[in-house]
Amino acid sequence: MAGDSMDVWKQGVIEHYEKRPAEMRDISLAQFEASYYIARDGKYKRRKFDRIIRYKNYDMNSLHEYKREMVLLQVPFVSEEIDLLDRNKYLSLYDEKETQILEARKVFESDLDMERILLYCRELCLQRR
């Protein structure tokens, strides 16, 4: 690449996911990112240990963003633009597959109530003073 080239774009997770082989079509984006990588030879390989994935984790106050994110992460797709975003298909997909999405989330999320735990820790610290 020439030193003054403006072609600095790099494929991201979604682009790699959309190009996955046909035998991986039933794998969600969350599963893909946590469990697979692309080797130097360009082949998709299973990780020895799953990675922790990070995402925005919208709450229900941002309902459209929440549903879009959950469908994007937990429902397998081939093209984000066509399968999810076109005419806001993610809204009907979420309603159709809500049970599946909520089950799949359990693999990636803890059911710990961190706010309650932090409050309890603060109370313990105050008691010791």
pLDDT at 129: 65
63-77 pLDDT per residue, tens: 899 999 999 999 999
Round the average pLDDT of the chain to a whole number and report it.
Answer: 88
Domain count, the chain: 1
22-31 pLDDT per residue, tens: 999 999 999 9
Q: Is residue 70 part of a domain?
A: yes
Q: Is residue 41 part of a domain?
A: yes
**Length in residues, the chain:** 129
**3-state SS record for the chain:** CCCCCCCCCCCCHHHHHHCCCHHHCCCCHHHHHHHEEECCCCCEEECCCCCCCCCCCCCHHHHHHHHHHHHHHHCCCCCHHHHHHHHHHHHHHHHHHHHHHHHHHHHHCCCCCHHHHHHHHHHHHHHHC
Q: Is residue 2 part of a domain?
A: no
pLDDT at 68: 93
* pTM summary value: 0.77
Q: Is residue 6 part of a domain?
A: no
Q: Is residue 3 part of a domain?
A: no
User: Which domain does 112 fall in, by range?
Assistant: 13-128
Q: Is residue 28 part of a domain?
A: yes
Q: Is residue 100 part of a domain?
A: yes
Q: Tell me what percent of the residues of the chain surpass a pLDDT of 90.
A: 58
Residues 95-114, mean pLDDT to the nearest whole number: 85
Q: Is residue 4 part of a domain?
A: no
52-65 pLDDT per residue, tens: 888 888 877 788 99
